[in-house]
Amino acid sequence: MAKKEIRMAGFGGQGIILSGHILGKAAALHENKNAVFTQSYGPEARGGSCSADVVISDAKIHYPKVVRPDVLVLMSQGAWGTYGGVVRNGGVLILDEDLVKIDQDPTDLTVYRVPATRIAEKMGRRIVANIVMLGAFTALGQVVAYDAMRQAVLASIPRGTEDFNLSAFDQGFEYGQSLLKN
C-alpha cells in the first residue's frame, strides 16, 4: 500500500478525535502498518471545530501531518468550509449527508453521502454517529480491512457498549457497501 492520508473533521462532541485514534490503531496494531495520528481542535469543549489526521503507510512516515488527504470525512458544515477544498485529485470525500450540504460535487473526487447521524439517531443514540461513519469509511475508503477496524473499535469503546457500538459500525459498513454497488 502506498502512503494514504486521511482527515476526519467535524465539531467537538462528535467523536472525531476518537475516530482518528481508532483508525490509527486499526492500521498500526491490527494490520502492522506505520501510522501517525494528529489532532486539532478549538478551545471550546463542545461545538468547536476539530479534525483528526491519520497518515498510514507500509514504509516509514517522514512527515506526520496530512497535506492533501486521499480520503476526507466531514461531519459538519463548518468542516466543509475549512477543509472541503484540500482533497487530493482523484480522492474520496465522505459526507454526513444530513449535516453537510454542498452546492455542487467536485468533479475530480468520488463523493459519498452517508446518513451517519440519522442512522445513529434511529438506533437511539446520536453519540455513535462517529462509529457509524467509521463503518462507512471502512467500506468506502478501502484503507484498512473490516476486521482490523472492528477490532480497533472493540478495543477503544467503554465496556458494556460492545454490542451497541458493533451494531453501529456494521450498519455504517453495510450502508457504505450499498453505495459501492450503485
* Helices H / strands E in the chain, number of each: 6, 6
Print the domain residue range for 92.
4-181
Q: How are beta strands 110-114 and 49-57 bridged, if at all?
A: unpaired
Average pLDDT in the chain: 94
What is the spatial distance between Cα 20 and Cα 73, in angstroms, rounded to a whole number? 10
- Domain tally, the chain: 1
State the pTM of this model: 0.94
Q: Give residues with Cβ within 8 angstroms of 141, minimum separation 6.
A: 6, 71, 73, 92, 94
User: What secondary structure letter does DSSP report for 126?
Assistant: G
Per-residue pLDDT, 46? 62
Placement of cell 486539532 in the chain: 40
> For residue 44, what pLDDT band results from cuts at 50, 70 and 90?
low
> For residue 29, what pLDDT band results from cuts at 50, 70 and 90?
very high
Which CATH number is 119's domain given? Answer: 3.40.920.10
The three grid cell numbers given for residue 159, joined into one nine-digit string = 465496556
